[in-house]
Structure 1
Amino acid sequence: MASTPIEDPEDILCGSLQSLYNYEPITLTSAGAAFVYKTSFGPTIYLQTPDTEASNWALHASSIWNSSRFIADHIDSIPIPHEHARILELGAGAGLPGITLALRRPDAEVVVSDYPDAKLIQTLTENVERNVPQGNARAAAYGWGTDTKVALGQRKFDVVVAADTLWNSEFHALLVRTLDMVLEDAGKVYLVAGLHTGRYTLDAFFKAVTKAGFAVESADEMRVDGGETRKWDATRPGADDDRERRRWVVWVVLKRSSILP
């Protein structure tokens, strides 16, 4: 599985940190950069990194995050429960995980969504249309916590995926509300999050989502380079070591707590 960003100065800086100081990058591209990803099952995905209106820069949607590539690299670790399943990506940015799922499961209906910023959604739409010619995926402008029916459709989703959407605790309540609105009763949520804003930010999300009626089915810390997997621990030593934090992502699976194992 290969991925190739077209380098600009910001990308070169990220690469220098990795090569000189053994720092894993958090993001792989910057706004406007092209990115090429070779899937493990055949197709090559060609993406443009979105930009946003200046008023929405705080969304940090103008990058392809390392966690989104991690999902794409491990796409077969996301079980799709049946044919014609509905799959939703939240906070999609360039849309790499959702597009990869659409190509992997052409029988599924995939909605790749992000905040309703005109520039962001235009690029996301172009990425989906360029890479999913069979037409089983579409881009959608959706703001977390708002009514889902117009943007996402009447039916709920069997699978929800999101990459690096937990870094800001101010958005946790909206994300939890959204998950509650969109997920089928027997559905599963697959989240991959970096540790760049600390373990306690993720722990705060776990507390919020369990309070809202979800169960954390699993939470595993996985080395970005694939070298090791260990159970999530909010109090693990070395939490302030930025170099060490960059080497890991947390793979989280959620379900409704009312659903038996």
Structure 2
Amino acid sequence: MSLIDLVQVIAPDREEGPEDIFAAAPMWLFPDDTVNMHGDPESLIVYKSSRFGEIRLQTADPNKEDERRLFSHYLWNAGLKLAELISQPKADSAWSVHDERVVELGVGLGGIVAMLAGASEVAITDYPAPVVLENILRNVDANLTFDSMLHFLSPDSAARVFAIAGFHTGRARLAAFFKVAAEHGLIPEEIYEEDVNGLRRSWAEERDGGLENHTERKKWLVVSRLRKKPDDAG
């Protein structure tokens, strides 16, 4: 399969400007020309990994000309090739990073894939421009929240994840968190709500028909211990 076939670019929902039109022009004017970079500022790039499924990346949005010269608003074929090579299981490839310490220089995707592939420690680096570094953090957070929990969680059946959060972002988001956690094999061993005075009540995905009073809601925390499903535990 071609590297280009591994990528889907989802354009931002906005009206195209002259720069967008001219940036896309070469692929239509020169259809035989190889595409070696993918994405545009604010676009979403979906890398379709055969081993890890979809990895979704936001590109950096350069604000100044010197930031634009960094070309960090693109995913390059070199980054795709790196991701493909280090995705392979240890027994199958000399490129495996399983149990290795990894320093990645200026790709982002490679560091995320290294983490998913079982590297013991990963440092993702890039040019020290705020727009670039913030984008790295955003992509790591979007792709590794649950996988990083599972990566660091001991295979021992006694291992646990402690998850405690306030409701300031909304009850629906926390309910979604626990739903996705369960899909990744992490289920509550104990979960309840507790207010600032120590009063407890049962956890509920929804209260008052979704019209819970904001002032009342912010008094409460959800407190939980998550464990691996029995079939997933070592």
After TM superposition, the score normalised by the length of structure 1 is 0.44
Higher-RCO chain (CA-CA 8 Å, sequence separation at least 6): 1
After TM superposition, the score normalised by the length of structure 2 is 0.49
Tell me which structure has the larger Cα radius of gyration. 2
